[in-house]
Amino acid sequence: MSAECSSYLNADKVLVSGFSCPRAGGDARAVFCCGFQDVKYCCDDPHSFFPYEHSYMWWLSVGALVGLSIAAVVLFAFIITVCVLCYLFISTKPRSKLDTGLSLQMAGETGC
């Protein structure tokens, strides 16, 4: 089983001629043509997207987890602050309305 990688222009706009997979002197299991329009390579997994080692993905995952953790802590602190401020606003509110000094009377009645 083999695959053909067609020619392509790399990132430096240099034409790279097409080749067959597996390549001579390469891994015999790499029978699929993988990659993008500007970089193609032989691989053993047809769903592979990156020709690099996957160790950098681990660092991206750790960075994403740290970033999401910080964002979660900030959001949690914001929610707690809003809850405390709402509680203080409600608990310090006067229980009854202030007396304005005016008494309401029904129309047509006269007060003595």
Number of Cβ within a 10 Å radius of residue 43? 22
Cα separation of 105 and 112, whole Å?
12
| pLDDT tens for the chain, residues 1 to 112 | 678 889 999 888 999 999 988 888 888 888 888 888 888 888 887 776 555 555 555 666 778 888 999 999 999 999 999 999 999 998 887 766 666 666 767 776 565 5
* Inter-CA distances, 76 with 66, 67, 82, 88, 90, Å: 15, 14, 10, 18, 21
Question: pTM score > 0.75 for this model?
Answer: no
Instruction: Decide: 32 and 49 in contact? Cβ < 8 Å.
Output: no
Q: Where are the domains of the chain?
A: 4-43, 52-91
